[in-house]
Structure 1
Amino acid sequence: MTVQGTVAAGFEAVRDELAAFLAGAEHAPGAQLVVHRGGERVVDLWSDGVSGESLLGVFSSTKGAAYLVTALLVQDGVLDLDRTVASYWPEFAAEGKGGVTLRELLAHRAGVVGLDAGFSQEELADDRAIAALLAGQRPFWQPGRFFGYHGYVIGALVGEVVFRATGRTLQEWYEERIRAPYGLDLWLGLPESEEPRFLSTLPMLPTPEQRAEIKAAAYTPYSLTGIAYNEHAPGSVALEDFPNSRTVRANGQASVGGIGSARGLSGMYAAAVFGLDGRDPFLKPDTAAEFARIHSEGKDLVSGTPKAFGLGFHSFATHFSSIAADAFGHSGASGSLAFADPRQGFTYAYTRRRYAYPGGAAPENERLLWAVVRSLG
Structure 2
Amino acid sequence: MTREIKVQGTTAAGYEAVRDEFASVLAAEKPDHAAQLSAYVRGKQVVDLWVGPDTGGETLFGVFSSTKGAAHLVVALLVQDGVLELDREVAHYWPEFAAEGKGGVTLRELLAHRVGVVGADGGFTPEEIADDRAIAERLATQRPFWRPGTAFGYHALSIGALSGEVVFRATGQTLQEVYEERVRAPHGLDFHLGLPEALEPRFRSVLPMAPSPTEQAFLDALPPQPGSLPSIAFNRNGAHPTDLEAFPNSRRVRAKGNASAGGVASARGLAGMYAAAVTGIDGREPLLKADTVAAFGQIHSTGHDLVVRAHRSFGLGFQSTAEFKYPFLGAGTIGHSGAGGSQAFADPCSGLTYGYTRRRFAFPGGPAAENERLVQAIHTSTVATAG
TM over 0.5: yes
Number of residue pairs matched by the alignment: 377
Give the secondary structure class of the aligned counterpart of 1:271.
Answer: helix
| CA shift for structure 1 position 367 | 0.7
| CA shift for structure 1 position 211 | 1.2
Matched, 1:113 2:96: no
State how far apart, in whole Å, the 2-side matches of 1:305 and 1:248 are: 28
Matched, 1:188 2:193: yes
The aligned counterpart of 1:330 is 336
State how far apart, in whole Å, the 2-side matches of 1:310 and 1:216 are: 33
Please, what TM-score do these two structures have when normalized by structure 2?
0.96
CA contact (8 A) 2:122 2:239 kept: no
The aligned counterpart of 1:40 is 44
Moved more, 212-221 or 128-137: 212-221
State how far apart, in whole Å, the 2-side matches of 1:221 and 1:195 are: 36
Matched, 1:8 2:12: yes
| CA shift for structure 1 position 222 | 1.3
State how far apart, in whole Å, the 2-side matches of 1:109 and 1:237 are: 23
CA contact (8 A) 1:219 1:225 kept: no
The aligned counterpart of 1:364 is 370
CA contact (8 A) 1:59 1:243 kept: yes
The aligned counterpart of 1:25 is 29
| CA shift for structure 1 position 234 | 1.2
In the TM superposition, what are the counterparts of 1:255-294 in structure 2 within 5 Å?
A: 255-294=260-299
CA distances 1:191-212 after superposition (whole Å, capped 9, x unpaired): 1110110000000100111112
CA distances 1:212-261 after superposition (whole Å, capped 9, x unpaired): 22233344131110011111221323101111111111111100000111
CA contact (8 A) 1:22 1:28 kept: no
Give the secondary structure class of the aligned counterpart of 1:24.
Answer: coil
Give the secondary structure class of the aligned counterpart of 1:298.
Answer: strand
Identity of aligned residues (%): 64
CA contact (8 A) 1:5 1:45 kept: yes
Structure 2 letter corresponding to 1:4: Q
The aligned counterpart of 1:168 is 173
> Given the alignment, which residue of 91, 98, 101 partners 1:96?
101
CA contact (8 A) 2:234 2:242 kept: no
CA contact (8 A) 1:273 1:284 kept: yes
State how far apart, in whole Å, the 2-side matches of 1:343 and 1:278 are: 18
| CA shift for structure 1 position 21 | 1.0
CA contact (8 A) 1:273 1:285 kept: yes
> Given the alignment, which residue of 363, 374, 377 partners 2:380?
374
Give the secondary structure class of the aligned counterpart of 1:308.
Answer: strand
| CA shift for structure 1 position 27 | 5.4
State how far apart, in whole Å, the 2-side matches of 1:137 and 1:151 are: 16
State how far apart, in whole Å, the 2-side matches of 1:46 and 1:221 are: 40
> Given the alignment, which residue of 311, 318, 329 partners 1:313?
318
CA contact (8 A) 1:219 1:226 kept: no
Structure 2 letter corresponding to 1:293: Q
Gaps of 5+ in 2: none
The aligned counterpart of 1:52 is 57
Gaps of 5+ in 1: none
Matched, 1:77 2:82: yes
CA distances 1:80-136 after superposition (whole Å, capped 9, x unpaired): 000000111010000001110000000000000000110001000000000000000
State how far apart, in whole Å, the 1-side matches of 2:148 and 2:66 are: 25
CA contact (8 A) 1:44 1:263 kept: yes
Moved more, 134-143 or 318-327: 318-327
Moved more, 89-98 or 314-323: 314-323
> Given the alignment, which residue of 54, 63, 66 partners 2:68?
63
> Given the alignment, which residue of 234, 252, 256 partners 1:251?
256
Please, what TM-score do these two structures have when normalized by structure 1?
0.98
CA distances 1:29-71 after superposition (whole Å, capped 9, x unpaired): 3110000011111100001132111001000000000100000
State how far apart, in whole Å, the 1-side matches of 2:281 and 2:96 are: 40
| CA shift for structure 1 position 26 | 4.5
| CA shift for structure 1 position 28 | 4.4
Structure 2 letter corresponding to 1:238: D
Matched, 1:295 2:333: no
CA distances 1:137-161 after superposition (whole Å, capped 9, x unpaired): 0000000000000000100000000
Matched, 1:341 2:347: yes
State how far apart, in whole Å, the 2-side matches of 1:233 and 1:277 are: 48
Matched, 1:149 2:154: yes
In the TM superposition, what are the counterparts of 1:216-235 in structure 2 within 5 Å?
A: 216-235=221-240
Structure 2 letter corresponding to 1:292: G
CA contact (8 A) 2:31 2:52 kept: no
Give the secondary structure class of the aligned counterpart of 2:280.
Answer: coil
CA contact (8 A) 1:336 1:361 kept: yes
The 1:24–1:322 alpha-carbon spacing in structure 2 relative to 1, beyond 3 Å, is farther
The 1:55–1:236 alpha-carbon spacing in structure 2 relative to 1, beyond 3 Å, is same
The 1:290–1:339 alpha-carbon spacing in structure 2 relative to 1, beyond 3 Å, is same
